[in-house]
A and B are shown apart, each in its own frame.
Chain A
Amino acid sequence: MAQLHRVRLTVNGREYEREVEPRMTLVDFLRHELGLTGTHVGCEHGVCGACTIIKNGQAVRACLMLAVQADGAELRTVEGLAGADGLHPVQQAFIEKHGLQCGFCTPGFLMSTVELLEGTTSPGEEQIREAIGGNICRCTGYQSILESVELAAQKMRAGQGS
């Protein structure tokens, strides 16, 4: 077995430290080492987007990165979205607009959407398509996902106003 490496990082504001083999991908690290199974493993070669998380403020694929590459990083996963006062507006919008059916791709869509809407709460349709274009959904046909993102943007605008 290859030499173990120490990985220290924060996920959703909490610090973690583990010793791992260099070949462990970040998504396996989240799920198997930290027990954070909200991030899903789909294609394992970067095509489907199910494993999308936010690393240092940007949406990235957790399957296309080694855990050792994320040493020192600040990560956000789907587990960090809901707060004490309930679901995140993006989660709420996906429920209201039927932005999911089986739910397998949903964590990835949510994280891509959160990154987009934290940058702007008034995205154009092109911008929305660009932000979620790397995520694949086999159930919804995407239309309801687009509507979910638009509703989420509305909710976040309203939240800023209050």
Chain B
Amino acid sequence: MKPAPFDYYAPESLADAIALLAKFDDEGVEAKILAGGQSLMPMLSLRVARPEVLVDLRKLAELHYIRDEGDTIAIGSMTSKRAAEESALIRERQPLFHDATMNIGHLPIRAHGTVGGSFAHADPAAEYPAAAIALDMQMKAVGPDGARVIGARDFFVTYLTTDLAATEVLTEVRMPVLAPGTGWSFREISRRKGDFALAGAAVLLSLAGGRISDSRVVVFAVNATAVRLPAAEQVLRGQAPGEALFREAGLAGAAEIEEPIADVHASADFRRHLVSVVVARGLAEAQSRARG
């Protein structure tokens, strides 16, 4: 299992990287960006991907940062997931993103895999796209025509497909800090810890006067992209929190999923069942962390 031959470039700046991507695009040469390689390398070794050229972003120090912008946290796309997991800023001010990070693979995968790579790769079972939809994150991309910002809802298109053009580099992901009093949960069910999830949920919950004033329920690993479950949120609105309500919301959410993924790991029915369980557990955990 060895990658097929390709040419390799490691540009020194973002501008050079984009110029290279544009040049290959013009020439009809298939070029792929290489970030941490933790998804691309297996695809090259299995020869699922056979690009003619790799453009390695490792020298772009300008894309390595975790920045406190007050109400927003900005992460440079080449920041490693391990750096994200070790960031006190993220752990304290956006714990949902921290918990999502801790569910990704294993430590050595997080050490070399980048934050941006997980967004660009857009695996249906990946944690970050669910966090992105739950938090209304924004993705910044730079291409030959300049920079643009893409909201999470438009960014993830389908299996392994995003809104990014072949000539665009994802440079930054941006998230709001958690609003005071909001409860959060990020959990998943997998056969062993570190395995890809069979089903997972990202949940936000706000209380006012002992009732649920607002909620956000997003699940992943069950459809081509992470999906929000408005039916579950509808069940919760204005209600007093409790285990029975959370179970009902989980069932309502599970019922509204169209054609859950069925594969060797879990049938469609089993995945639907897991959604109801993981959503109910997530809501209970979020409630325990909410104030108001």
Contact = CB atoms under 8 A, between A and B. Distances in A.
A3 B6 CA distance: 9
B66 interface: no
Contacts of B37: 64-66, 69
A78 to B, nearest CB: 15
Given A45-B46, A46-B41, A69-B56, A60 B108 contact: yes
A61 B108 contact: yes
Given A2-B6, A66-B37, A130 B107 contact: yes
Interface in B24-55: 34, 37-38, 41-42, 44-46, 54
B48 to A, nearest CB: 10
Interface in A17-33: 21-23, 25, 28
A59 B105 contact: no
A145 B112 CA distance: 25
Nearest to A22: B8
B194 A46 contact: no
A126 to B, nearest CB: 10
A44 interface: yes
Nearest to A28: B2
B11 interface: no
Q: Interface residues of A: mostly helix, strand, loop or mixed? A: mixed
A84 interface: no
Size category of the binding interface on chain A: 20 to 34
B107 A59 contact: yes
Contact of B5 (A2, A25, A134): A2
B106 A134 contact: yes
B6 A23 contact: yes
Nearest to B3: A23
Interface residues of B, number: 30
B155 to A, nearest CB: 25
B164 interface: no
Contacts of A60: 108, 111-112
A20 to B, nearest CB: 10
Contacts of A22: 5-8, 54
Interface in A34-88: 44-46, 49, 52, 55, 58-61, 63-66, 68-69, 71
A41 to B, nearest CB: 9
A64 B41 contact: yes
Given A59-B111, A60-B112, A133 B106 contact: yes
A23 B4 contact: yes
Given A69-B58, A134-B106, A134-B194, A45 B8 contact: no
A134 B107 contact: yes
Interface of B: 1-8, 10, 34, 37-38, 41-42, 44-46, 54, 56, 58, 82, 105-109, 111-112, 193-194
10 contacts: A21-B5, A22-B8, A28-B2, A45-B46, A58-B112, A64-B37, A65-B112, A69-B56, A133-B194, A134-B106
